[in-house]
């Protein structure tokens, strides 16, 4: 087998996403927009799958695969097959009947692989778990932010490249050697691009490529940080930028306000899973399924020298160390 590529990895592990995302030629180099988008897509997708923490699921249920079905399709069907003698996570298919609120009453579902179809499923023999309160797949958010982050990343890279080549000098063949000698002597071999073969009228014109580049680089990096924070919030991860903490010391209110927006979006993904876990426990009394969202506690400098922590999995509040 040859060396793994983005193409082969997606085809093997995410054939459905491979079909959606593959466009054009396989040109994956460090300054390629598609390559950058794949990187940030993988990063956000992995984080989104990892955040929900399921407990007491049957051993045959792969939590990561269940979350992938949820994120990709907006829902997953939890069903017990008495013939196979095991619980299954299925992809929701055609819905034949809805109730007055638009909830599926009679529907079909298929396995992720193997093409096994279950017909005439209903709330008495299976449970539909939704990805978020709007039932729109989180994959849409991940696609959007992956594209934005890729564009910003390549903008930053281009600014860095321009800083390394600060001058564009137009000259004729007769003056080329002299210009190279001047650059070597005066600018100590400072990088430049020398354009040869121009008319005498345009000869020895110097164009500076670094004008406003440092400011553009700083702005791009700041926008990248803000966009990455938005992306984390969209998948339910509260994050306070390190760039923000460098500029000013954050008060307890500012920490709470920053985290609250992420928590609200986190709850929009957590609540449907909690309802799904309750329905599973009602329909299958032998199970005691629980679900929460992983929340990493990080310390932040407060105005009075105290550190504030993001809330734990139980309360989601902002506490001081003294508490």
Task: State the angle between helix axes of 213-234 and 139-164 in degrees (0 to 180), rounded to the nearest 10.
Answer: 160
Residue-wise pLDDT tens digits, 128-144: 999 888 888 888 889 99
Residue ranges for the chain with pLDDT beneath 50: 1, 25-28, 242-247, 297-298, 300-323
User: What does each C-alpha distance from 218 to 10, 102, 117, 225 come to in angstroms?
Assistant: 34, 49, 54, 11
Give me the pLDDT at residue 214, please. 84
* The pair of three-digit structure tokens given for residue 266, joined into one six-digit string: 């986190």
Residue 215 CA to residue 175 CA, distance in Å, equals: 34
The 10 Å Cβ neighbour count of residue 143 is: 17
Burial class (CB within 10 angstroms; exposed 0-12, middle 13-18, buried 19+) of 83: exposed
224 φ, ψ (degrees, to nearest 5): -60, -45
Q: Rounded CA gap, 70 and 92, in Å?
A: 10
> Where do the H-state alpha helices sit in the chain?
6-13, 15-21, 33-50, 63-73, 139-164, 173-186, 213-234, 242-247, 252-283
Task: Tell me, yes or no, if the pTM score tops 0.85.
Answer: no
């Amino acid at each position: 087998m040859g060396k793994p590529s983005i193409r082969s990895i997606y085809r093997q592990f995410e054939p459905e996403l491979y079909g959606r995302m593959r466009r054009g030629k396989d040109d994956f180099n460090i300054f390629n927009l598609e390559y950058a988008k794949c990187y940030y897509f993988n990063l956000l997708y992995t984080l989104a799958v990892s955040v929900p923490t399921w407990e007491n699921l049957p051993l045959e249920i792969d939590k990561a695969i269940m979350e992938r079905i949820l994120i990709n399709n907006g829902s997953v069907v939890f069903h017990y097959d008495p013939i196979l003698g095991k619980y299954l996570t299925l992809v929701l298919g055609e819905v034949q009947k809805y109730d007055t609120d638009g909830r599926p009453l009679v529907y079909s579902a298929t396995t992720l692989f193997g093409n096994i179809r279950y017909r005439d499923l209903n709330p008495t023999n299976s449970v539909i778990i939704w990805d978020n309160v709007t039932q729109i797949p989180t994959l849409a958010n991940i696609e959007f932010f992956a594209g934005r982050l890729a564009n910003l990343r390549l903008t930053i890279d281009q600014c860095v490249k321009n800083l390394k080549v600060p001058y564009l000098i137009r000259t004729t063949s007769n003056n080329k050697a002299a210009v190279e000698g001047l650059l070597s002597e005066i600018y100590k071999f400072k990088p430049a691009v020398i354009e040869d073969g121009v008319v005498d009228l345009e000869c020895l014109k110097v164009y500076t490529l670094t004008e406003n580049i440092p400011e553009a680089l700083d702005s791009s990096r700041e926008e990248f940080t803000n966009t990455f924070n938005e992306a984390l919030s969209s998948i339910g991860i509260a994050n306070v930028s390190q760039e923000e903490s460098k500029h000013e010391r954050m008060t307890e209110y500012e920490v709470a306000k920053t985290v609250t927006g992420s928590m609200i979006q986190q709850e929009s993904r957590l609540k449907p899973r909690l309802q799904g876990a309750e329905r599973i426990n009602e329909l299958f009394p032998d199970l005691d399924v629980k679900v929460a969202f992983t929340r990493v506690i990080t310390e932040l400098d407060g105005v009075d020298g105290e550190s504030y922590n993001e809330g734990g999995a139980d309360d989601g509040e902002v506490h001081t160390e003294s508490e």
